[in-house]
Every structure is written in structure tokens, then in C-alpha cells.
């Protein structure tokens, strides 16, 4: 029975936007380590930049991001010069090395930024780094932030892609998550950004929310599709009140169970595919002409802290409080608390709180997990070519997983380890079998479905 399968494979596991995952970062990787890593980046390395804006003018109770509610602009105005100092420090350490292919502003609500601050950040990036010919500038938008001048501010800064949170258009669901946002508001933002030349729009929908029903979610999906986004993400709500205290405001009794969550996800995915979108990994969809769909078809899809991406840059540099960077040598994360981040940047130029250096085995397992999450398959010939004799141990693990699989979730013919169609929704659970860190420490994770 499908319901029994869903219950068995719904146990909490990581989302695998990195490997090792963030709970295994440690303070042994510090700003000195980070500076050394930056100095060693080769000249032609592609760089992806992320700037975290940890502020919102309201706190959505479903949110799992590092952010805080502010009622005045003053804290944001004070934060921007600190981020700019960090950017200057990193640029000096790179000393002209690398070329920037992507810049992403996330949060929080980066759409709260006033035009002058947004322009200052964008201009600083362009003046301190070498910008590649093909450069994408993306920003996350909360429609409630979008006063009239904000549209022109984003366009003038050179934004080429926007991501807009929908969540759910049902008023009862919105009230339960403290996110009031009408369809008309959302449509106005989509139309306003497209009218100003923004070439790509992504919309995010959530399932598994309090009071959410199949019928209500189906209406939300239909309304979302009517806006014809270039990309659409269908995320499962991650209820982690032990990490995010504000999620305790959500009535747990109103949350759908794992079987209901699975049904919501399957229904929504079917409707989205029926509208002509291609499924990308476990929770993204894109029009066939979009670069995300093209990358998926060409087995060139990647996964990072923003989810599925075409971004193949080997170095992701994070700026701002709590931001995470991924360099060839390992991961680093800035201090999470804005005050401590500010103090350390003002004193040292950098504010690394923790990280992890990658071992050869980490790199191998990271590649295996990423290919499973992106392609649902790992070709053994490529595994062996990339990693040599050590890959034999992972191949043996694949054989063991396939031997123990009595549910028909995986297929292993000796040449390729692959998820079956039946198994694809449970790929996080299968990927976890190759996570040598899982179970170490006290990390807790969200549901796998």
C-alpha cells in the first residue's frame, strides 16, 4: 500500500542542499582558514555571490530562515555598510581572481531595501569583482514590500530574475501562517517586473501547511499557473519549532499528516506537469525553454542552499549574517546573530562562525548525493573515473541498498544506481544511506515527504 510506504519513508532526513550538512559545521574553520581559501582561488574560477538580508517587516510563522522583524528601516540602514565592508575585505583577498557569474539577494526580505542601498550593493559588486559576460542577478521578493518605486529600483540595479513567495492563496491558511497576500498583489508584482524587462520569474508554493486541503491547494496551484511563471517551486513545509520558536504559533493539530502531505505534493505536481512544465528534481518545475529544464535534460543540474540551480560555479561566496559559502576546500558560515556579525566584520573584516573542510571522501559522497538528488541516478563508470579505487566502497554500499530494497525504490544493474519512478519521491531517504555523518551529533531534521 502506498500509504504504508509513505509512512515508512517519511522519517526526518536532511534536505541535502550541502554535504556535509550544516549541523556538522564546527568552529575549527575560522576567518583565518577562510582567508587562506579565498587567496588560493584560481584566476578563471567562476564565482557565485549571495547576500543575506536578515530583516522582514513581519514574521511569517512558517519561515525557517534566519531573519528578524523590524518596524523601522534604521537597522537595515546600519546593516548595509557592514555587508559592504565584508564585500571589500573578500574582494581584497581575492585580488582580482575569479569572475562573477551570479549574484543572489535572499533573506529575510531583500525587497525591503531602499533604492539607494540596493544600488550601492550592486555597484560595489560590479566595481570590486570581474563580472562575467553571462551574469544573472536574482532577488527574492515579498509582494507586501513592493511600493511603486521599488519596481524601478530593482530594474535599475540590473535584476534579471525574481523569486516570489506564494505559499497558499487560501485566506484561512494565510491567517494560520501570518502571511496575508492576495492573488491580485502577487499578479501585480509579476506583471510589474516583467514590464520592466525582468526576463525570468519564479514562484514558490508550499504544501503541508496548517488547514491546507487538496481542494484548496489545487485552487492555489491553478491561480499560480495562470501567471505562467518561468519556474515554479513546490516545497513541503518544514515544521521545526525546536529550531524556529515562532513556528510554535502554528497549531500543530491543523497540520496535515504525512499521507495527506504526500497526496498534496503528488496532486500539485500532476497539475503543474499537466500545464506543460517539466519536473526538476524533487520539488522544482520549469518551462521547457527555461535554462533550468535544459540543464536537467543535459544532466548538468546542481543543488545548493537555494535549491536546484543551473549555477555550476565551484565557489559560492556568502555575505551577511548567517550566510553560507561553499568553496572548493569546504564550507563556511558567518555568525548568525546580526550583532555579533557586525562586531566581527567591524573588527576583522570577516565574521566566520563555523565551517567544515572537505575530505576526499566528503567530495565523493557529496557528488553521489547531488547526482541522486538532481538526476535520480549515479553512473558507476563516472563515479570510478572521478574518484578511483575509493569509489569501490560506495559502489558496495549501493549494492547493499539495492539488495535490501524490498519496496522497488531503486534499480542497480551493475552499471548505474538509479531511483525507480516509484522511488523518486523518496530520494532523500535513499540519499541518506550514503551520508556517513547522519546519526552523529544531535541534529534534527524535517520530514522527508
Residue 110, all three cell numbers: 531583500
Per-residue pLDDT, 63: 87
Number of H helices, E strands in the chain: 15, 19
pTM > 0.85: yes or no: yes
Contact between 6 and 262 under an 8 Å Cβ cutoff? The reply is yes
Pairwise CA distance, residues 112 & 53, whole Å? 9
Residue 315, all three cell numbers: 565557489
Domain boundaries, the chain: 21-357, 360-434
DSSP 155-200: HHHT--EEEEEEE---HHHHHHHT----HHHHHHHHHHHHHTT--E
Which CATH superfamily does the domain covering 21-357 fall into? tm_1862 like domain (3.80.30.20)
Contact between 32 and 301 under an 8 Å Cβ cutoff? The reply is no
Pairwise CA distance, residues 430 & 150, whole Å? 44
User: Beta-strand (E) ranges in 147-263?
Assistant: 161-167, 200-207, 231-236
Residue 273, all three cell numbers: 506537469
Query: 3-state class of 134 per DSSP?
Result: strand
Q: H or E element: which one contains 385?
A: helix 380-387
Contact between 14 and 438 under an 8 Å Cβ cutoff? The reply is yes
In order along its 449 residues, the chain shows pLDDT tens digits of 788 888 888 888 999 999 999 999 999 999 999 999 999 999 899 999 999 999 998 888 888 888 988 989 999 999 999 999 999 999 999 999 999 999 999 999 999 999 999 999 999 999 999 999 999 999 999 999 999 899 999 999 999 999 999 999 999 999 999 999 999 999 999 999 999 999 899 999 999 999 999 999 999 999 999 999 999 999 999 888 888 888 888 999 999 999 999 999 999 999 999 999 999 999 999 999 999 999 999 999 999 988 899 999 999 999 999 999 999 999 999 999 999 999 999 999 999 999 999 999 999 999 999 999 999 999 999 999 999 999 999 999 999 999 999 999 999 998 999 999 999 999 999 999 999 999 776 666 666 67
Q: Are strands 68-69 and 55-56 parallel, antiparallel or unpaired?
A: parallel
Pairwise CA distance, residues 311 & 233, whole Å? 17
At what angle are helices 338-348 and 74-94 packed, to 10 degrees?
Answer: 40
Pairwise CA distance, residues 317 & 51, whole Å? 9
Per-residue pLDDT, 443: 66
User: How much is the CA Rg of the chain, to the nearest whole Å?
Assistant: 21
CATH of 360-434, one of 3.30.465.10, 1.10.10.920, 3.40.190.10, 1.20.1250.20: 1.10.10.920
Residue 116, all three cell numbers: 539607494
DSSP 69-97: E-SSSHHHHHHHHHHHHHHHHHHHHHTT-
Amino acid at each position: 500500500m502506498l500509504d504504508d510506504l509513505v509512512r515508512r519513508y517519511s522519517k526526518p532526513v536532511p534536505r541535502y542542499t550541502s554535504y556535509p550538512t550544516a549541523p556538522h559545521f564546527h568552529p575549527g574553520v575560522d576567518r583565518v582558514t577562510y582567508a587562506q581559501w579565498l587567496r588560493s582561488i584560481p584566476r578563471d574560477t567562476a564565482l557565485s555571490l549571495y547576500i543575506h538580508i536578515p530583516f522582514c517587516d513581519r514574521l511569517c510563522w512558517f519561515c525557517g530562515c534566519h531573519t528578524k522583524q523590524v518596524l523601522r528601516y534604521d537597522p537595515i540602514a546600519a546593516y548595509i555598510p557592514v555587508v559592504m565592508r565584508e564585500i571589500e575585505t573578500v574582494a581584497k583577498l581575492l585580488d582580482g581572481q575569479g569572475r562573477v557569474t551570479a549574484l543572489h539577494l535572499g533573506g529575510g526580505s531583500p525587497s525591503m531595501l531602499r533604492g539607494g542601498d540596493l544600488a550601492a550593493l550592486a555597484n560595489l559588486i560590479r566595481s570590486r569583482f570581474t563580472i562575467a559576460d553571462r551574469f544573472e542577478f536574482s532577488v527574492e521578493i515579498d509582494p507586501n514590500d513592493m511600493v511603486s518605486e521599488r519596481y524601478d529600483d530593482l530594474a535599475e540595479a540590473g535584476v534579471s530574475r525574481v523569486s516570489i513567495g506564494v505559499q497558499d492563496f487560501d485566506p484561512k491558511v494565510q491567517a494560520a501562517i501570518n502571511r496575508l497576500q492576495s492573488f491580485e498583489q502577487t499578479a501585480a508584482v509579476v506583471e510589474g517586473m516583467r514590464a520592466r524587462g525582468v526576463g525570468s520569474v519564479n514562484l514558490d508554493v508550499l504544501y503541508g501547511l496548517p488547514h491546507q486541503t487538496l481542494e484548496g491547494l489545487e485552487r492555489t496551484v491553478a491561480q499560480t499557473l495562470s501567471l505562467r511563471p518561468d519556474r515554479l517551486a513546490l516545497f513541503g513545509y518544514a515544521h521545526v519549532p525546536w529550531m524556529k520558536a515562532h513556528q510554535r504559533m502554528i497549531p500543530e493539530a491543523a497540520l496535515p499528516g504525512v499521507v495527506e502531505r504526500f497526496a498534496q505534493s503528488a496532486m500539485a505536481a500532476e497539475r503543474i506537469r499537466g500545464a506543460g512544465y517539466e519536473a526538476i528534481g524533487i520539488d522544482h518545475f520549469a518551462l521547457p525553454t527555461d535554462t533550468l529544464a535544459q540543464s536537467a535534460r543535459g544532466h548538468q543540474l546542481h543543488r545548493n542552499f537555494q535549491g536546484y540551480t543551473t549555477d555550476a560555479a565551484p565557489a559560492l561566496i556568502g555575505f551577511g549574517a548567517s550566510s553560507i559559502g561553499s568553496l572548493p576546500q569546504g564550507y563556511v558560515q558567518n555568525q548568525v546573530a546580526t550583532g555579533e556579525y557586525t562586531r566581527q566584520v567591524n573588527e576583522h573584516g570577516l565574521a566566520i562562525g563555523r565551517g567544515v573542510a572537505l575530505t576526499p571522501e566528503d567530495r565523493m559522497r557529496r557528488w553521489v548525493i547531488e547526482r541522486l538528488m538532481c538526476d535520480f541516478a549515479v553512473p558507476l563508470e563516472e563515479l570510478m573515473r572521478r574518484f578511483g579505487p575509493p569509489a569501490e566502497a560506495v559502489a558496495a554500499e549501493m549494492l547493499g541498498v539495492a539488495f535490501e530494497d524490498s519496496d522497488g525504490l531503486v534499480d542497480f544493474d551493475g552499471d548505474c544506481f538509479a531511483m525507480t519512478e516509484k522511488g523518486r519521491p523518496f530520494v532523500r531517504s535513499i540519499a541518506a544511506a550514503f551520508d556517513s555523518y547522519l546519526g552523529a551529533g544531535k541534529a534534527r531534521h524535517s520530514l522527508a515527504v
